[in-house]
Each structure stands twice: as structure tokens, then as C-alpha cells.
């Protein structure tokens, strides 16, 4: 220990002498000050003239001297601090070690420093494309909320911190929504989502913060652009029930594709087991069949006319008579309706019936008319690549 102190003092003595010698070689006489340096309670030097021009070099070298003068933990203690900070923050080991060195091996100060660096890193990466991620779903008996949290790679989407954040956002969005019992499907504003107050309880991210700050902090930890892209809520009436399904789900409440619908029972029992069972199967059907409209009456006239023109131009190339062409067009339009209209689609669980027949059978079983109030299908990253190559607006999830 005595040798270490002597080494530090001799180093301070050498640096102080070199600084003053360098200063004395300059032909300036702008001021005079004490050639005095204090290192670990030991004072060196005396009074000599030197120039203001060497102040910057003096300060730089004294900062290096202070770093040499701080007692450095033993190798095993260093590894223990690195491991503890790594467990707290999940930051890369090289960043953890650099922060500890810069903060003189003070683990609390190093953790604060890493959070500051993470915010800067998140800002730098915010312009990069984030098309991966997860959907997080939270629901109660009459309402469901789904939010999409994007990242750059599937590797980050599988990370436990990212998944915890996504679930926290969905749960808080469910609690923060309007208490008005209005049935329907509604988008949740991005500003509303980012401004939500979160009370996080996770080893890596904890405490009360806003959603936007939490996303920025996780982006710094992950080293990727993380973006809260959009959210939707669906409410059922007092006599309805909400059913959901998540596809490619790494854990409950998370997935890459979400199917949500509300079933409305006219004066019947919404707690029926048959209603719950069929509702879950229909939510799965929506994910698989990708319907665009609930009924034929809701098909946009522009979309229908465009499809008719396409089919007609294809049929005319066959060289058949005009009457035959008209029959071909009508037949293909019926096929188109079966593909995009939910009530006309074949049921994926039993393709011998369509959804309309399924609901008729369910109504008989429940004892009251049952109908689909709304449906929603959301998929991670849909439309992002198209947005990069065009000026199209944000795509809206398939809903009715």
C-alpha cells in the first residue's frame, strides 16, 4: 500500500514539474500564480510565472492525474461491479465497464450515466425503420385494447424487457380509456398513449414515468429504435361479449396478429359457454381469413366496381359470347364476396358452413338472436414497407 501511495505521489510530482517546465518555456508573462498541486492531501510546487495559454493543458492533465489517484477496486471487485450493473441495466459489457471507469467505480453514478447515454443513443436511432415487434392485448368483460410496439429486429421482440413494456402499455391503456359504455371500435391517439403514466416494477426498468420516457429508456438498453406505433380499443354493449385471439404468441397477452370481435346478444345471456366458445373460434377465424367487410352491404361501391372491371377485362380475353362473359363476371364477384366479407366466408373450423349459418346455429343454442357487432384484425408491421416507398397515409387495421 505504501508503495502504491509513493507511486501516485511521484506521478503527481512528475506531472506538476513537467507542466511548469512546459509553461516556463513559453515567452509569456501574462500572470503569475502558485505552482501548487494537491494530490491525495500532498502539496507540490511553489510560485512561478506562467501563461494563461497553458491552463487548458493543465486542467486536462490534472483530470488524468485525479483518475490515477482514485483507488481502483481489485480485479474481483471490478468484475462484481460490472456484473451487478450489467444485471441492473442489460447494457453491453463494454458500455458498463466504460461507465464504471468514468464514474470512479461508483455503481449508482454509473447507472445514471448509462441511462443518460441510452437516451442519446435512442435519439440517434429514432430515424431507423422499426417493422418488427409485438402486439399487446389487455381486456375485461366488455372492452379490449391492443397496442403495437415496434422494434428493428425479432431478437429484441423476444427480449423480456421489451415484452414487459408492451404489456404495461396495453394494461394502462385499458385503464386509461373512457369509462363511457359506448360500443364500437376506436383508434387510440398516439399522444394519449405516449403521455400515459406508468408505474413500472421490473428489475431493469422501475418507478413512475411516462410511456414515452419508458420507451426511450428501453430503446437505450436494447440499442435499437423502439416505437409505439398505434392502438385500438373495442367496446361491447351491456348485453355483448368481447372475444380475442393472438397468433404467434410468446406469452399470454402478446402476439404478432390479433383478432378481436364483439358478439351482441339481444336480450339473452351473454355469459353462455357456447357464446364464449364460438367467440374465440371467430376471433381465430378473423386472423386466418383476413375479412375486409362485415356484410355485403358494407362493401365500398368503389371497391366493388373496381373488382368488376378487373374481372370483366379478364373474362373478355376468353373470346366467349357477351352473355357468357356476364355470367362469368357475376360468378367471380360472388367468389370475391366470399373472400372479403366476413358473413359470407366459409368457417375455418368447419368449412361446410359459412359465418352466417354459424351465427344462426348459435342463436338457436343461446335462445336469443346473436350478431357480430364489430371486428378488428391487426398485424405487426403491416404497411410499413409500403409507407417507405410512397406518401400513403398510415394503414388502418381491418375493422368493421
Domain of 82, CATH number, reads 1.10.8.10
272 and 218, same structural domain?
yes
Q: What is the share, in percent, of the chain residues with pLDDT greater than 70? A: 72
Which residue has 378473423 as its cell numbers? 286
pLDDT band at 117 (very low <50, low <70, confident <90, very high): low
Question: For the whole model, what pTM was predicted?
Answer: 0.69
Residue 126: per-residue pLDDT: 64
187 and 86, same structural domain?
no
Residue 97's domain comprises 76-126
Which residue has 368457417 as its cell numbers? 347
Helices 2-25 and 55-69: angle between axes, nearest 10 degrees: 170
Of 283, 257, 253, nearest in space to 145 by CA: 253
pLDDT band at 205 (very low <50, low <70, confident <90, very high): confident
Whether residue 314 lies inside any domain: the answer is no
Q: Is 138 helix (H, G, I), strand (E, B) or coil?
A: strand
Our CA angle for 199, 166, 147, nearest 5°, is 115
Whether residue 3 lies inside any domain: the answer is no
290 and 209, same structural domain?
yes
- Name which residue leads in pLDDT, 88 or 248: 248
* Residue 160: HSE in the Cβ half-sphere, 13 Å Cα cutoff: 6
Q: Distance between CA atoms of 1 and 230, rounded to whole angstroms? A: 60
Instruction: Indicate the burial class of 399 (C-beta count within 10 angstroms; 0-12, 13-18, 19 or more).
Output: buried
In 104-255, which ranges are continuous DSSP H helix? 107-125, 154-157, 160-176, 190-194, 211-222
Q: Are 260 and 243 in contact (CB under 8 A)?
A: yes
DSSP assignment of 28-87 equals --SEEEE--EEETTEEE--EEEE-GGGHHHHHHHHHHHHHHHSPPPPHHHHHHHHHHHHH
User: Which of 42-51, 174-183, 346-355 ranks highest by mean pLDDT?
Assistant: 346-355
149 and 173, same structural domain?
yes
Lowest mean pLDDT among 23-37, 54-68, 190-204, 224-238: 23-37
119 and 162, same structural domain?
no
> C-alpha grid cell for residue 363?
342463436
> C-alpha grid cell for residue 14?
512528475
pLDDT band at 363 (very low <50, low <70, confident <90, very high): very high
Whether residue 203 lies inside any domain: the answer is yes
pLDDT band at 271 (very low <50, low <70, confident <90, very high): confident
148 and 195, same structural domain?
yes
245 and 102, same structural domain?
no
Residue 169: per-residue pLDDT: 97
Amino acid at each position: 500500500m505504501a508503495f502504491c501511495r509513493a507511486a501516485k505521489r511521484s506521478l503527481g510530482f512528475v506531472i506538476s514539474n513537467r507542466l511548469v517546465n512546459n509553461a516556463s518555456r513559453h515567452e509569456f508573462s501574462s500572470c503569475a500564480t502558485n505552482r501548487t498541486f494537491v494530490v491525495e492531501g500532498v502539496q507540490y510546487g511553489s510560485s512561478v510565472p506562467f501563461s494563461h495559454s497553458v491552463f487548458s493543458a493543465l486542467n486536462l492533465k490534472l483530470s488524468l492525474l485525479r483518475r490515477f489517484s482514485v483507488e481502483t477496486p481489485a480485479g474481483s471487485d471490478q468484475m462484481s461491479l460490472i456484473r451487478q450493473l450489467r444485471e441492473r441495466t442489460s447494457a453491453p459489457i463494454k458500455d458498463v465497464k466504460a461507465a464504471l471507469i468514468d464514474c470512479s467505480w461508483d455503481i449508482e453514478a454509473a447507472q445514471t450515466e448509462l441511462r443518460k447515454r441510452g437516451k442519446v443513443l435512442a435519439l440517434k436511432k429514432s430515424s431507423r425503420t422499426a417493422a418488427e415487434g409485438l402486439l399487446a392485448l389487455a381486456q375485461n368483460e366488455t372492452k379490449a385494447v391492443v397496442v403495437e410496439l415496434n422494434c428493428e429486429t425479432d431478437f429484441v421482440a423476444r427480449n423480456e424487457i421489451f415484452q414487459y413494456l408492451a404489456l404495461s402499455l396495453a394494461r394502462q391503456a385499458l385503464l386509461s380509456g373512457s369509462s363511457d359504455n359506448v360500443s364500437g371500435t376506436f383508434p387510440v391517439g398516439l399522444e394519449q398513449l405516449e403521455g400515459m403514466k406508468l408505474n413500472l416494477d421490473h428489475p431493469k426498468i422501475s418507478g413512475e414515468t411516462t410511456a414515452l420516457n419508458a420507451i426511450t429508456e428501453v430503446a437505450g438498453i436494447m440499442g435499437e429504435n423502439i416505437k409505439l406505433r398505434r392502438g385500438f380499443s373495442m367496446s361491447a354493449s351491456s348485453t355483448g361479449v368481447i372475444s380475442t385471439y393472438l397468433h404467434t404468441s410468446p406469452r399470454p397477452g402478446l402476439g404478432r396478429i390479433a383478432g378481436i370481435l364483439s358478439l351482441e346478444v339481444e336480450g339473452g345471456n351473454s355469459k353462455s359457454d357456447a357464446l364464449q366458445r364460438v367467440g374465440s373460434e371467430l376471433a381465430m377465424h378473423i386472423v386466418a381469413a383476413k375479412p375486409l367487410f362485415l356484410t355485403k352491404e358494407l362493401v365500398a361501391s368503389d371497391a366493388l366496381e373496381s373488382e368488376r372491371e378487373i374481372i370483366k377485362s379478364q373474362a373478355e380475353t376468353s373470346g366467349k359470347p357477351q352473355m357468357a362473359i356476364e355470367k362469368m363476371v357475376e360468378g367471380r364477384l360472388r367468389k370475391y364476396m366470399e373472400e372479403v366479407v366476413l358473413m359470407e366466408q366459409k368457417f375455418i373450423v368447419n368449412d361446410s358452413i359459412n359465418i352466417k349459418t354459424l351465427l344462426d346455429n348459435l342463436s338457436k343454442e343461446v335462445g336469443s338472436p346473436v350478431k357480430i357487432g364489430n371486428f378488428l384484425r391487426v398485424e405487426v408491421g403491416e404497411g410499413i414497407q409500403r409507407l417507405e416507398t410512397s406518401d400513403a397515409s398510415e394503414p388502418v387495421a381491418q375493422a368493421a
